Amino acid sequence: MPRRDDIGAGVRDMAAILVAAAPIGLLWGTLAAGKGFSALEAWLMSVFVFAGASQFVAIELWQTPVDVFAVALAVFIVNLRHILMAASLSRQVGAVKPALIPLMAYVLVDEAWALSERRALSQKFSLAYYLTCGFGMWITWTTSTALGAWLGRSFGDPAALGIDFAFSAMFIGIIAGFWKGPKTAAVLAVAGGVAALAKLTVPGAWYILAGGLSGVVMAAALYREGDNDVA
Amino acid sequence: MMWPEARVWAALIAMGLATYLVRLAGFYVLKGFTPRGRMKAALDALPPAVLMAVIAPTVLATGPAETGAALLTAGAAALRLPMVVVILIGVVSVVLLRLVLG
């Protein structure tokens, strides 16, 4: 298939996702402005990190002066899932020039990964399609977050408008997408309970690691032979 | 425009490296890795467990308004409403519950 068609397919498949992502980028920019970020700083963070969920966590933890280790650790933990997505993609990239792999890694976001994997089920993996999805998100995310920070400076106290809670609400929405039944409830209960306790007793971002690990251990403990066949 | 100070640059670079190296490692270190069985179940649980851990202090240990709003938001999310609608329901309910519950 000519490359032009792959780019067109990428644009078509990404359009609705980008329309949904733009307000979330604006929201992140608003929260960042609340922590003292300029539009330039917000844009730079989106360019350097380019991972929405982890950027929300980093802003939640952000203080002035910032605890560099705490935010980097939190971002690392939240983005660990990308190693599995990249490993899965690595099975498709045999025909891709090795020099382009670092570029693929840079734009590896959930949406581009999901669309490319789904498309690869029915046709050959297309680098042009993947990069169109990835950079479509890059343009939308970097622009909307910077714009949000620029506009956000005029909003005042985010708590008065409930904007401080928007972050938690968005994560609840994302978590719902991972729901697989009662075992998920058990995993979430353990992860949430351990994290809340750790947050109250241990300073820093360790509560994320403690909660996340206990959820993973819970999932492993609940596993029964043949579970993955029905999932 | 305000140029970021050194400590902010350090944080940006550290966060950027933490993310990028994870993404790169999947292509090189874990190339072709396909988890199965108990390992797959555990790794599949990683994203929701981490996200839950992130919001746990806010939704479980802040106050009844936040916990109540989180439950309402979870209800909206369970109905598979669009993300923007789910967020709006969460924000509106936390504002109302904070007014009612003080």
Q: Rounded mean pLDDT of chain B?
A: 91
Total Cβ atoms within 10 A of residue B30: 16
A29-67 pLDDT, tens per residue?
999 999 999 999 999 999 999 999 899 999 989 998 999
Identify which of B1, B16, B40 has the shortest CB distance to residue A40.
B1
- Mark whether B43 and B20 lie in a shared domain: no
Q: What percent of chain A clears pLDDT 90, i.e. is strictly above it?
A: 59
**Which residues 6+ apart lie within 8 Å of B10 measured at CB?**
A68
- Check residue B43 and give its pLDDT: 86
pTM higher than 0.80, yes or no? Answer: yes
What band does A3 get if pLDDT is binned at 50, 70 and 90? confident
Q: Is B3 exposed, middle or buried (0-12, 13-18, 19+ CB in 10 A)?
A: exposed
What count of other Cβ atoms lies within 10 Å of the Cβ of residue A12? 10
Whether the complex's predicted ipTM is more than 0.90 is answered with: no
- Residue B93 and residue B53 in one domain: yes
Residues B3 and B53 reside in one and the same domain:
no
Q: Give φ, ψ of A221 to 5 degrees.
A: -65, -35
Residue B82 and residue B98 in one domain: yes
Mean pLDDT of A184-196: 97
Distance from CA of B89 to the nearest CA of A (A): 8
Whether residue B100 sits in one domain with residue B58: yes
Inter-chain contacts counted by CB atoms under 8 A, chains A and B = 309
The reply to whether B44 and B69 lie within a common domain is yes
By residue range, what is the domain housing residue B7? 1-33
Amino acid at A92: Q
In terms of domains, do B46 and B83 share one? Answer: yes
Instruction: Give yes or no: residues B56 and B85 share one domain.
Output: yes
Same domain, B81 and B68: yes
| Same domain assignment for residues B52 and B19 | no
Q: Summarize pLDDT for B28-76 with one digit per residue, the tens.
A: 998 878 888 999 899 889 889 988 998 999 999 999 999 999 999 999 9
Contacts of A50 in chain B (CB under 8 A): 19
B5 and B46 part of one domain: no
Tally of domains in chain B: 2
Which of B11, B24, B78 is nearest residue A71 as measured by Cβ atoms?
A: B11
